[in-house]
Structure 1
Amino acid sequence: MSGLRIVADENIPALEDYFGDLGTLVRVPGRNLQREQLLDADVLLVRSVTRVNAALLAGTPVRFVGSCTIGTDHLDTGWLEAQGIPWSAAPGCNANSVVEYVFCALAALDIDWRGKSFGIVGCGNVGGLLQQRLHALDIDCAIYDPWLPDNPDAAALATVLAQDVICLHAPLVKDGPHPSRHLIGRAQLEQIKDDATLISAGRGAVVDCTALRDLLRAGKRFTTVLDVWENEPDIDTGLLELVDLGTPHIAGYSLDGKLAGTRMIRAALSAALSLPDHSDAAAGGGVKSGRTELLSRPTVAPTAFAAMAELLLQIYDPRADDRRLREAATGAQPMAQAFDRLRREYPERLELSHYSLDATTLDTALRQQLAALGLQ
């Protein structure tokens, strides 16, 4: 054992399994982490709720920072690099979870995506996987990502906002040539068709949420799905009342995605500090290997979109997350605390690949679509 002292966000799963062999683990609430808790720490493991910068780390012995999430806007990477502190995030770890959230949200709202056109803002790990999934489903899409001008589906932002389903997966970039904060402001929101659907599952501040609230309150009619919000965890409950589906930043919260993030950061830590590699076979916190059988016959006509929606919602129904968030917003606990509690106590959610279906009663087209979505 190398005897490292590792301070980690208590919400990172399988910490003991993936880091217990390295030394002492100290679990802390990530949102309220203080510099004093790091005065004897060698390694800091966080999620997106912890701001990692000079104020937190200056003068501490921390020599590696790992974020078990896809984004980096909470890390002052320039300062870390200037101090010679290696760092890593986990890009792509929960991409599949977010893509499945998109389709389950549409199913929950009874929006048949077959024959719809899609627009994607931000075509990194999540947006790129969604693009692949749409191509597999033979669905047209337009992509706005100024960092990827050669994408075969590249289009102007106005073209993307003119599609039937608009999915926002851009990272939060505050400066540089292509800032994304409030990229979708009032003018852009006004361009969205009244019969369209807007799904925001990247970073909350990519949308001007005040402008969105005001437009919805004034009668703008497009369907709105928000998983991410400005000013998390103290979100705008007035906006929550107006959206069609609201969830507490959990689109990427499948157990598969969480464990992938933990696994990626352990690999990065081992590489940065020349530590032994970790064997997944030694971890007791892996995703369940067994598959769960679904209904062999949907209760509705097997050729209908409703059959596909029913099967998806048996696996993950985001309306349950919506209900919990709305109940929390009207409860006695302050919104910020309730929002964090919902994320901390989030129930186990497995991805579609863990479920199988006897599809012999379904027509070929529907079987192909279910397979493209990831169902076995």
Structure 2
Amino acid sequence: MKVLVTARLPEAVVGKIREAGHEVDMHLHMAPLERDQLLNRMEGVAGLLSTITDRIDGEVFDRAPGLRVVANYGVGFDHIDVAEATRRGILVTNTPGVLTDATADLTFALILAVARRVVEGDHRTRSGKFQFWAPLHFLGTEVSGKTLGIVGLGRIGRAVARRARGFDMQVLYTARKPLGRDEEERLGVRFAPLDQLLARSDFVSLHVPLTPETHHLIGARELSLMKPFAYLINTARGPVVDETALLEALRQRRIGGAGLDVYENEPQLTPGLADLQNVVLLPHVGSATVETRTRMAQMAVENLLAGLSGHRPPHGLNWEAVQGKRGKGR
């Protein structure tokens, strides 16, 4: 069967698709596949290994009537119309769990970077502006002993909570369903409704998926509840934050700063955001370690091959529903 891989992946991993007897069409450039190119290359495709930069919807499905599986290279799948895929009997998979530690590590990198003005200090030193040491010069804020608010206590949120222990931080969390007391004790966390968490935290870290309910979860009202010296960290999805409202809060110093790895209209930034010194901006690198990205590719290929062979994939999002559709005839 024909497989389209929309991003350049390690040949050792992609080779397993060929070893299984399938034809592979892989996008070889580093830049994402353009929309028209994606549509044009869908003809005859039975398996699609796509990434978070690809919008996978009915228009894509129309180009490949024989499409059996969409194997997403990534955890989030808000860019895939899963409901439409299910209606058409197309299996959708993702790669959960594998990027937990890498993203949690990056979350703390951002916390430390904004609190201690790491990026700003690097720029100042490189430009030759480091000319003296003084007691009140270039002050940041300590991380140890502060209160960390985690919005969304899934795999990554829990990993961030575990790392916070090493900094003796008090950890608050909010989630759709609070943990039991024993589990809270084990993780060293305490539940707080979102408004209380925002008001009490020195650092607020977002770890929720993008859904209609979480779109602009953090807007002008929520930012106004934060302490004037608190920091917002987002390694989840860009549209969880109203970026225009965040820009104004940062400009007016209503919060201390922010650390962002994702953006509302990625890869574009809200005009003016890049001009601010109290925000650290990264190019969506939460999972960008050799170990994690390789394992993501391996998981995506495993899901793809299972789906093409009619077997249950390790990480199917709609397996049961699709089986029901196929049982009734696609």
Q: Which bin holds the TM-score, normalised by the shorter protein?
A: 0.7 to 0.9
**Counterpart-to-counterpart distance in 1, 2:271 and 2:8:** 24
Q: What amino acid maps onto 1:208 in structure 2?
A: D
Q: What residue number does 2:74 align with?
A: 69
Deviation by residue 1:152-183 (Cα, 9 ceiling, x = unmatched): 33210022212111111111101xxxx00001
The number of equivalent residue pairs is 270
**Counterpart-to-counterpart distance in 2, 1:98 and 1:91:** 12
Q: TM-score, normalised by structure 2?
A: 0.75
Identical pairs, percent: 26
Deviation at 1:17, TM superposition (A): 4.1
**Structure 2 unaligned runs (5+)?**
117-140, 185-189, 313-330
**Structure 1 unaligned runs (5+)?**
278-376
Equivalent residues of 2:151, 2:157 under 8 A apart: yes
**Counterpart-to-counterpart distance in 1, 2:102 and 2:196:** 27
**Counterpart-to-counterpart distance in 2, 1:233 and 1:107:** 24
Q: What residue number does 2:103 align with?
A: 98
Deviation by residue 1:335-366 (Cα, 9 ceiling, x = unmatched): xxxxxxxxxxxxxxxxxxxxxxxxxxxxxxxx
Deviation at 1:137, TM superposition (A): 5.4
1:1-376 aligned at under 5 Å gives the runs 4-14=1-11, 15-22=13-20, 23-28=22-27, 29-32=32-35, 33-60=37-64, 61-109=66-114, 110=116, 112-135=142-165, 138-148=168-178, 150=180, 152=184, 153-161=190-198, 162-174=200-212, 179-242=213-276, 243-274=278-309
**Counterpart-to-counterpart distance in 2, 1:102 and 1:225:** 8
Q: What amino acid maps onto 2:250 in structure 1?
A: L
Equivalent residues of 1:5, 1:26 under 8 A apart: yes
Equivalent residues of 1:53, 1:76 under 8 A apart: yes
The SS at the match of 2:272 is: helix
C-alpha spacing 1:173/1:216, structure 2 compared with 1 (3 Å):
same
C-alpha spacing 1:147/1:50, structure 2 compared with 1 (3 Å):
farther
- When the two chains are superposed, the root-mean-square deviation of aligned CA atoms in Å is 2.3
Q: What amino acid maps onto 2:5 in structure 1?
A: A
**Counterpart-to-counterpart distance in 2, 1:208 and 1:106:** 20
Deviation by residue 1:282-327 (Cα, 9 ceiling, x = unmatched): xxxxxxxxxxxxxxxxxxxxxxxxxxxxxxxxxxxxxxxxxxxxxx
C-alpha spacing 1:260/1:107, structure 2 compared with 1 (3 Å):
same
C-alpha spacing 1:11/1:197, structure 2 compared with 1 (3 Å):
farther
Equivalent residues of 2:143, 2:167 under 8 A apart: no
Deviation at 1:66, TM superposition (A): 0.6
**Counterpart-to-counterpart distance in 1, 2:165 and 2:59:** 45
**Counterpart-to-counterpart distance in 1, 2:274 and 2:297:** 31
**Counterpart-to-counterpart distance in 1, 2:111 and 2:146:** 11
Q: What amino acid maps onto 1:172 in structure 2?
A: L
Deviation at 1:223, TM superposition (A): 1.8
**Counterpart-to-counterpart distance in 2, 1:121 and 1:209:** 17
Deviation at 1:47, TM superposition (A): 0.9
Equivalent residues of 2:39, 2:63 under 8 A apart: no
The SS at the match of 2:41 is: helix
**Counterpart-to-counterpart distance in 2, 1:255 and 1:18:** 19
Q: Point out the more displaced range, 105-114 or 224-233.
A: 105-114
Q: TM-score, normalised by structure 1?
A: 0.66
**Counterpart-to-counterpart distance in 2, 1:266 and 1:186:** 42
Deviation at 1:195, TM superposition (A): 1.8
The SS at the match of 2:259 is: strand
